[in-house]
């Protein structure tokens, strides 16, 4: 599902998020990306959904080479992805239901299927009572749940989740982890960036640890397997 070969990312500010990074993720794998603040987790995910271009190296997602010269069709690759951003990227002028149904409307689903799928997503995230509420009237945790529901409603083959449970309580975090595990068992690939080492201990999966930047750029990024 994901192949990254010798990928480096240096921002115009000359900050290097990571360099010479290799990663392969098979279809149906669940992978944690962890590491301290500023170690490059979000940069890595943004490269995988084509919001950021690497400075060098090759990135292939679902057989599509995002790094081919002149590639401008990241939006097509994103169709098969459920993306959860740390800042949620919700439509502030729309209500909860509209934020979730919008994705399916863009994809051309028939109205009846949209109604059914959105209903299921609302139930899944415990938002059925809030469907007509505006995004701005929700707590941050509720907004995060909308963002997760919106990512899941399109049955993505790949979920790219950047700190998706950062402000959820233990019960809702457990619920999200159960949903993700069930999706993985059905073949969904999940890349989950988190700083939360307790979460990784509690739900052991293959874990990639990014190291904090040192002078001269990141070195020694590597893979550890969580126990259990």
Ligand X SMILES: Nc1ncnc2c1ncn2[C@@H]1O[C@H](COP(=O)(O)OP(=O)(O)O)[C@@H](O)[C@H]1O
Separation CA 87–CA 91 (nearest Å)? 12
Q: Which of 32, 40, 158, 205 binds ligand X (CB under 6 A)?
A: 40
> In what helix (H) or strand (E) does residue 147 lie, and over which residues does it extend?
helix 140-152
221 binds ligand X (CB under 6 A): no
> What does 62-129 look like in DSSP terms, one character per residue?
TTEETTSTT---HHHHHTTEEEE-TT----TTSBHHHHHHHHHHHTT--HHHHHHHHHHHHHHTT-GG
Please, what is the minimum distance in Å from the beta carbon of residue 166 to ligand X? 11
Q: Which is nearer to ligand X, 43 or 189 (CB)?
A: 43
DSSP secondary structure letter of residue 161: E
Q: Which of 16, 19, 42, 165 binds Mg ion (CB under 5 A)?
A: 42
Size of the site for Mg ion (CB under 5 A): 2
Q: Which does 97 bind (CB under 5 to 8 A by kind): Mg ion, ligand X, none?
A: none
Please, what is the minimum distance in Å from the beta carbon of residue 190 to ligand X? 17
**Phi/psi of residue 105, each to 5°?**
-65, -45
54 binds ligand X (CB under 6 A): no
Q: Which does 11 bind (CB under 5 to 8 A by kind): ligand X, Mg ion, none?
A: ligand X
Q: What angle do CA 184, 130, 156 make, to 5 degrees?
A: 25
Q: Which two tokens stand for residue 200?
A: 């990784």
42 binds ligand X (CB under 6 A): yes
- What's the sign of the alpha-carbon dihedral 161, 1, 3, 26? positive
27 binds ligand X (CB under 6 A): no
- Interface region with ligand X, contact rule CB under 6 A, candidates 38-46, 99-107, 116-124, 169-177: 38-46
Q: Which does 37 bind (CB under 5 to 8 A by kind): Mg ion, ligand X, none?
A: ligand X
Q: In a 3-state reduction of DSSP, which class is residue 21? A: strand
Size of the site for ligand X (CB under 6 A): 13
Looking only at residues 195 through 214 of this chain, which bind ligand X when binding is defined by CB under 6 A?
A: 213
Give the number of C-alpha atoms closer than 13 A to the C-alpha of residue 93, restricted to the C-beta side.
0
Please, what is the minimum distance in Å from the beta carbon of residue 216 to ligand X? 14
- Nearest residue relative to Mg ion (C-beta): 42
Query: Which positions touch ligand X (CB under 6 A)?
Result: 11, 13, 15, 17, 35, 37-43, 213
């Amino acid at each position: 599902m994901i192949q990254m070969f010798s990928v480096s990312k240096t921002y115009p500010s000359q900050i290097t998020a990571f360099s010479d990074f290799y990663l392969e993720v098979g279809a149906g794998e669940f992978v944690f990306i962890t590491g301290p603040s500023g170690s490059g987790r979000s940069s890595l995910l943004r490269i995988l959904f084509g919001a950021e271009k690497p400075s060098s190296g090759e990135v292939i997602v679902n057989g599509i080479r995002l790094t081919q010269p002149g590639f401008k069709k990241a939006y097509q690759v994103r169709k098969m992805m459920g993306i959860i951003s740390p800042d949620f990227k919700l439509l502030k002028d729309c209500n909860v239901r509209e934020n979730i149904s919008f994705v399916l409307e863009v994809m051309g689903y028939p109205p009846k299927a949209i109604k059914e799928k959105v209903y299921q997503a609302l139930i899944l995230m415990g938002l059925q009572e809030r469907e007509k509420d505006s995004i701005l009237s929700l707590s941050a945790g509720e907004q995060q749940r909308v963002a997760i529901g919106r990512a899941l409603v399109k049955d993505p083959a790949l979920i790219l989740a950047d700190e998706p449970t950062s402000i959820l309580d233990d019960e809702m975090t457990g619920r999200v982890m159960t949903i993700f595990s069930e999706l993985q068992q059905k073949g969904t690939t999940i890349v989950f960036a988190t700083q939360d080492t307790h979460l990784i201990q509690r739900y052991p999966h293959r874990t990639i640890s990014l190291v904090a930047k040192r002078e001269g750029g990141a070195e020694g990024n590597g893979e550890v397997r969580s126990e259990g």
